[in-house]
Amino acid sequence: MREITHFIDGASVAGTSGRYGDVFNPNTGEVQARVALATAAEVGAAVGSAVRAQQTWALVNPQRRARVMFEFKRLIERDMDALAEILSSEHGKVIADSKGDIQRGVEVIEFACGIPHLLKGEYTEGAGPGIDVYSMRQPLGVAAGITPFNFPGMIPMWMFGIAIATGNSFILKPSEKDPTLPVKLAELMMEAGAPKGVLNVVHGDKVAVDAILDHPDIKAVSFVGSSDIAQYIYSRGTANGKRVQAMGGAKNHGIVLPDADLDQVVKDLSGAAFGSAGERCMALPVVVPVGKQTADALRERMLSEMQSLRVGVSTDAAAHYGPVVSQAHRQKISDYIQAGVDEGAELVVDGRGFSLQGYEKGFFIGPSLFDGVKKGMRTYNEEIFGPVLQIVRAETFEEAIDLPSSHQYGNGVAIYTRNGRAAREFAARVNVGMVGINVPIPVPVAYHTFGGWKRSAFGDTNQHGMEGVKFYTKVKTITARWPEGAVEDSAFVIPTMG
């Protein structure tokens, strides 16, 4: 059976713990590989390599570091088809979604290519008599990223792209469910010209995570995953003196006002709620139509739209989405659907009985639709992370604002309306970190910043954009004065080549 190894100091390194995780093909339900789970000592070896590499990498000028980013981008684009196939084979998302996953990561690499400009500090001439003040951004040292299964290409690149461009070295601990692509990315980074040790990949579970959080040479940790683990990462990391950004769960709402274009709403909901099998922290699993007439019309059109959804294997170009990542996750989604029924919500479409001919052992689940979901229900309060859309009816605009504002999560929200004043007021008042206006998944472009509020994020700095540059650097401020007569005039000689 294929074994997925660590990538340390520029080379493949076999695991020594004797512990392994199974890597499934979600389309067939079969185990296709096993991944070594790291010991604390193996994490330490990766950190040692990163420390050595960072000492010289930090001295490379920003323009030359940017050239490595440019080459890394070219290599990913060269290998896009093969990388997407790897991603789909372990995650289950369709090829088009896998390419989108990788492309959104590449966009952050493109942003990192501008690092010479982004690292420029500030300068004040004559802050006092003969005194100038200026600042510079310098790397932290070694940074680490702990990433989830749902975006094994995009999220690692969100982290290590900016960290490496700013002069840090990086330890990546990807999900053990789909670990092959992150290793390929590290290999491409070496091919692009980064020195060995600048990007290391260690696989593992809580043992590896705790080793990262406790290691004194790791100065910053970035995390994306569930809120409970995000809070744990943030608490333990900051207690050890690290800079930490930890992104948690979500329950994103889509508000539909009576004047909305329902054809556009339904089309957007189909992709935002069911695309990638709903395994996205920026999915749109809750729709809030305002008024009975709006809700009834939306439900009718959504039913019709759902009948056209095609669930298939990840290589099926006509499929809208593929299997979920594991049998355990499929069961978790099914359990949430049953909980919704038990709580009294109306299960309009039940996807639990879906089976794909020839792939009966695959981790497939059909699209589901609830109506009559109420605030306070467990299935409303918690993140299902599957192809389940819930209709939560609101009678007024104020009620619609309150639902996402008072929810424990505050990652993203969308509003559909033709009324600019209503949209403007909603965007200003809603207690959520990212807002879409007639946009279902408001993930900002790479040169802006990504981050939610409340239990969707722990820490003060967001992902990518200038917030990312700030997270992976520290500011040094210099106040300088050069008194007259301190140096003989003869010392002011322009150097020549000789």
The pLDDT tens digits for 19-77 are 999 999 999 999 999 999 999 999 999 999 999 999 999 999 999 999 999 999 999 99
- The answer, yes or no, to whether residue 18 has pLDDT greater than 90, is yes
- The answer, yes or no, to whether residue 497 has pLDDT greater than 70, is no
The range of the structural domain enclosing residue 86 comes to 2-248+456-478
Mean pLDDT of 4-9: 98
Mean pLDDT of 385-402: 98
- Total domains in the chain come to 2
Buried b (16+ CB within 10 A) or exposed e, 263-300: eebbebbbbbbbbbbbbbbbbbbbbbbbbeebbebbbe
Closest CA to 442 of 419, 466, 411, 463: 411
Question: Taking the model in full, what pTM does it have?
Answer: 0.94
Active site residues: 281
Degrees to nearest 5, angle at CA 414 with 409 and 418:
155
Pair (167, 99) in one structural domain:
yes
Query: Is there a domain that residue 42 lies in?
Result: yes
The pLDDT tens digits for 98-142 are 999 999 999 999 999 999 999 999 999 999 999 999 999 999 999
Mean pLDDT of 314-340: 98
At 484, is the pLDDT very low, low, confident or very high (cuts 50, 70, 90)?
confident
Pair (111, 193) in one structural domain:
yes
Pair (276, 129) in one structural domain:
no
pLDDT, position 495:
57
Q: Residue 127: what are its φ and ψ, rounded to 5°?
A: -65, -25
The pLDDT tens digits for 85-95 are 999 999 999 99
What is the average pLDDT score of the chain?
Answer: 96
Query: Is there a domain that residue 484 lies in?
Result: no
CATH number of the domain bearing residue 158: 3.40.605.10
* Antiparallel, parallel or unpaired: β 412-416 and 253-256: parallel
pLDDT, position 498:
45
Query: Is there a domain that residue 290 lies in?
Result: yes
CATH number of the domain bearing residue 412: 3.40.309.10
Query: Is there a domain that residue 428 lies in?
Result: yes
Pair (306, 175) in one structural domain:
no
pLDDT, position 489:
52
Query: Is there a domain that residue 448 lies in?
Result: no
The pLDDT tens digits for 151-207 are 999 999 999 999 999 999 999 999 999 999 999 999 999 999 999 999 999 999 999
Pair (135, 234) in one structural domain:
yes
Between the CA of residue 430 and those of 2, 63, 285, 414, 424, what are the distances in Å?
Answer: 49, 41, 18, 10, 10
Pair (238, 285) in one structural domain:
no
pLDDT, position 127:
93
Q: Residue 118: what are its φ and ψ, rounded to 5°?
A: -70, -25
Query: Is there a domain that residue 113 lies in?
Result: yes
Pair (211, 275) in one structural domain:
no
Pair (230, 369) in one structural domain:
no
Query: Is there a domain that residue 204 lies in?
Result: yes
Amino acid at 87: L
The pLDDT tens digits for 233-275 are 999 999 999 999 999 999 999 999 999 999 999 999 999 999 9
Pair (259, 396) in one structural domain:
yes
Q: Find where tokens 């995390």 sit.
A: 223
Query: Is there a domain that residue 87 lies in?
Result: yes
- 463 beta partners: 450
Pair (210, 259) in one structural domain:
no
In terms of Cβ atoms closer than 10 Å to its own Cβ (0-12, 13-18, 19+), residue 28 is: middle
- Percent pLDDT > 90 in the chain is 96
Mean pLDDT of 421-441: 97
> 496: Cβ–Cβ under 8 A, 6 or more apart, which residues?
none
Pair (99, 164) in one structural domain:
yes
Buried b (16+ CB within 10 A) or exposed e, 188-223: bbbebbbbbbbbbbbbbeebbbbbbbebeebbbbbb
Domain boundary among 437, 464, 488: 437
pLDDT, position 290:
98
Pair (178, 151) in one structural domain:
yes
